[in-house]
Structure 1
Amino acid sequence: MRAFTFLVNPASGGGAAPDAVVPVARLLREAGATVDVTYSPGPKAMGALVDVAIARGDVVVSVGGDGMLSSLAGSVSVAGGTLAVLPAGRGNDFARMLGLPEDPAAQARLLLEGAVRRVDLISWTLPGGAPRLVAGSVYSGVDARASEIVDGAHWLPKKAQYPYAALRSLATYQPGRFRVSVDGVEHEYSAATVVVANSAYYGKGMKIAPAAVLDDGLLDIVVIEAASKLELMRSLPTVYDGAHVTRPEVTVLTGRRVELRGRGRTPIPVGGDGEPLGALPGLDGPPAVAEVRPGALAVIA
């Protein structure tokens, strides 16, 4: 019988996370499992809790959004534990990629009986900084700006937040100059965004990297080159089914190590799994580096 430590971000999903825990924890306890539930104000406060949970042999359950999950994934990976996911955020894109159920009974059954599989993670490092492990994707440019807008769009219904942020960011974007090196082969683009993806999904169901696989030891790099604002807005619906990759302004590359630099009118923002990750270094300095960590995370799915 598995034991579980639920680590909950109570702010996730506009406060939906605490309610998501109750029926699943009850079903697990009725089945005889040991369940501990701990609340935190955010993902950065969780490292010590992860270490304690793994030391006693618990499965760590992330209850919240993609940012919470990504932060825990790194900690669980480093500590050698097993992660499970109870999606309760606005996007839940990594849970979507894993094919996780939404019904509490099915979620409890998966936690008790589901197989443990190993998936890749992305190691992201800015010059002079420490590596950050990311589960889904790292993105730079207009989509990082959209992520910033989402964080300030709580006044909108949840279903409208991501479409609103995408359209607003496209309406105000300025293309940047990106230098992208994939496994030592350098490319240069005038682009709206560059995405380094482990998972196919981001932005609440946008299939930005449709060929991405979580356990293939590869990263998918999606470059959307500069186009008119109107053209980008018109093409936005195609991102939801992955059809955008057939458009002439979209380039898809694959590799294990990606070096990124960029220059824009202002510093080009970077995000990862819904969390801000700073800005890209300029074209003339040392690059930011994304590397795949094959099989780095054990997860119940």
Structure 2
Amino acid sequence: MKRVGLVVNPTAGRRRGAVLGRDVADGLRAAGHDVVDLSAPTASAARANAVRAVAHGIDVLVVVGGDGTAHLGVNVVAGTDTPLVVAGAGTGNDLAATLGWPVRDAAAVVRVVGEGVPRRIDAARRVEPDGSGAWFGGVLAAGFDSVVNERANRWPWPKGRMRYHLAILRELPVFRPIPYAVTVDGVTTRTEAMLVAVANGPAYGGGMRMAPDARVDDGLLDVVVVHAISRVELVRVFPRVFSGTHVDHPAVEILRGREVRLDAERVVAYADGERFAPLPLTCEVVPEALSVLT
């Protein structure tokens, strides 16, 4: 029997999260586990509940939702010994896919909690002068993709991926290459680029394999730079991100390192699909910072 903290995002996956969360809770209790419901009306309140539960001692934290909920879980348990399990219920579920966590399968989640193998993986952290900083487990986007996210998040409709696709169509005619300074382990590259992504894991945005060779346990961040190309060429290349073959394009450069600083004006970075921080920012990989059950 384990004491399980449970955070459910009921709106994830067009409200499929509520049903999956209920089934996960019922299944865990039926298996003999002690379930502590940490869900709350807001993400910040749920996170505060989860932080307190970890501090007071739970055996595992289970979060039910999409990549935003997974991001919440990462920020709660990173740097602790409490393992995380993500029950994918959202549109993207990229972190769940990377680690083989169940998607919309309550019974499989219960099996992972009861029989899962402990594993420690890397996480990335924004570096602040006081040593604090938010974490991310997957990909930080800072460029065309994050600009599209900013636009899409201002729209109340449509929901899901369609809103993102429409935002791409709206942004594309007006987008211009962005001047960046990209510093990896102290070496700075100045360039104009369409986007820069910092990846702890390979995918984001519902299966876009931005950094197909990134690994969550290699102690490194993959930095993907898509240097300046025409909008026509961007339209041609961008769909290849779903297969990861965009990295073969001559405008795509991949750097690797432990610490990355991005400098650019009027760019807000998104990490794990969540609004993260405006540039400039510095992030670092922390090896084995995150405990998970898989």
Q: TM-score, normalised by structure 1?
A: 0.89
**Separation in 2, partners of 1:259, 1:7:** 32
Structure 1 match to 2:32 = 32
Structure 2 match to 1:44 = 44
In structure 2, the CA distance between the partners of 1:112 and 1:149, relative to structure 1 (3 Å rule), is farther
In structure 2, the CA distance between the partners of 1:71 and 1:157, relative to structure 1 (3 Å rule), is closer
Q: What amino acid sits opposite 2:269 in the alignment?
A: V
Task: Give yes or no for contact 2:88–2:102 (8 Å, CA) kept in 1.
Answer: no
Deviates more, 1:204-213 or 1:90-99: 90-99
Superposed CA deviations along residues 25-55 of structure 1, whole A, max 9, x for unmatched, are 2222221111222322333223432233222
In structure 2, the CA distance between the partners of 1:234 and 1:41, relative to structure 1 (3 Å rule), is farther
In structure 2, the CA distance between the partners of 1:106 and 1:112, relative to structure 1 (3 Å rule), is same
In structure 2, the CA distance between the partners of 1:129 and 1:32, relative to structure 1 (3 Å rule), is closer
Q: What amino acid sits opposite 2:284 in the alignment?
A: E
Say if 2:81 is the partner of 1:80.
yes
Structure 2 match to 1:70 = 71
Structure 1 match to 2:139 = 137
Please list, as runs of the form range in 1=range in 2, the aligned pairs for 1:52-201 lying within 5 A after superposition. 52-54=52-54, 55-102=56-103, 103-125=105-127, 130-152=132-154, 155-156=157-158, 158-201=160-203
Task: Give yes or no for contact 1:51–1:79 (8 Å, CA) kept in 2.
Answer: no
**Separation in 1, partners of 2:196, 2:218:** 21
**Separation in 2, partners of 1:165, 1:203:** 13
Task: Give yes or no for contact 2:87–2:102 (8 Å, CA) kept in 1.
Answer: no
- The size of the alignment, in residue pairs, is 292
Structure 1 match to 2:20 = 20
Superposed CA deviations along residues 56-89 of structure 1, whole A, max 9, x for unmatched, are 3231111222222213212212443111111122
**Separation in 2, partners of 1:164, 1:125:** 34
Q: CA RMSD in A?
A: 2.1
SS state at 1:121 partner: strand
Percent identity between the two aligned chains: 38
| Deviation, structure 1 residue 23 | 1.8
| Deviation, structure 1 residue 129 | 9.1
Structure 1 match to 2:290 = 297
In structure 2, the CA distance between the partners of 1:296 and 1:47, relative to structure 1 (3 Å rule), is same
| Deviation, structure 1 residue 249 | 0.8
Please list, as runs of the form range in 1=range in 2, the aligned pairs for 1:151-300 lying within 5 A after superposition. 151-152=153-154, 155-156=157-158, 158-263=160-265, 267-281=266-280, 288-300=281-293
Q: What amino acid sits opposite 1:18 in the alignment?
A: A
